[in-house]
Amino acid sequence: MDTPVSESPRWYCLRSKPRRQHVAASHLRSLGIEVFNPQLRFKRPTRRGPAWSTTPLFPNYLFARFDLLTFFRRARYAFGVHDILRFGDRWAEIGQEEIAQLQDVWSHSDALQPPQPIEVGAPVIVTGGLFHGIEATVIALLPARQRVRILLDFLGGLKEAEVDAAAVLPPMSHPLAV
């Protein structure tokens, strides 16, 4: 294997071990390596109602900025890291401009919450309570009471119900759902 050559710190793409992305990012930071590990934050339906969850924007991949010559072994063999990504005999360098654009979107936080607007006429899924998992249509927003009036097919007919606004989610609330 070729010896790494570098003059200054650059951004590299690292592949983490499965479900060890957070471990890899934390360990690299403890070694003094700058890490960028963007996450998406979203609500997912559960029986107790919506629950916040996070998922990596790039599953099993993260970005680290370091001098390849100095930190090669430490970065490559850090806890949770599978390897430094390479294409043939070239290490996968990421341009500062691309990382800066991603960091502008994520600002000062690793987790970004995509908007989940609920509008009149929009289909939703009710989470938690008696109507858990039932699809409905929003017929009115009641912002003063933080409630939503919905129309749902229940017990053989269309029924109106009023539920907490936090208890309804768009049908595809997972940001990576297709």
pLDDT beyond 90 at 50: no
CB 68 within 8 A of CB 3: no
The pLDDT of residue 106: 74
Closest CA to 50 of 144, 159, 138, 125: 125
Q: pLDDT tens, 123-153?
A: 888 877 777 778 888 888 877 777 888 888 8
CB 167 within 8 A of CB 127: yes
Q: Is the pTM of this model over 0.85?
A: no
Pairing of strands 111-112, 39-44: parallel
Residues for the chain: how many in total? 178
Per-residue confidence band for 27, with pLDDT thresholds at 50, 70 and 90: very high
Closest CA to 78 of 9, 110, 30: 30
Distance CA 151, CA 121 (A): 10
Name the residue with tokens 């070729």: 2
Distance CA 19, CA 59 (A): 8
Q: pLDDT tens, 73-129?
A: 999 999 999 999 999 989 999 999 999 888 887 765 555 555 566 778 888 888 777
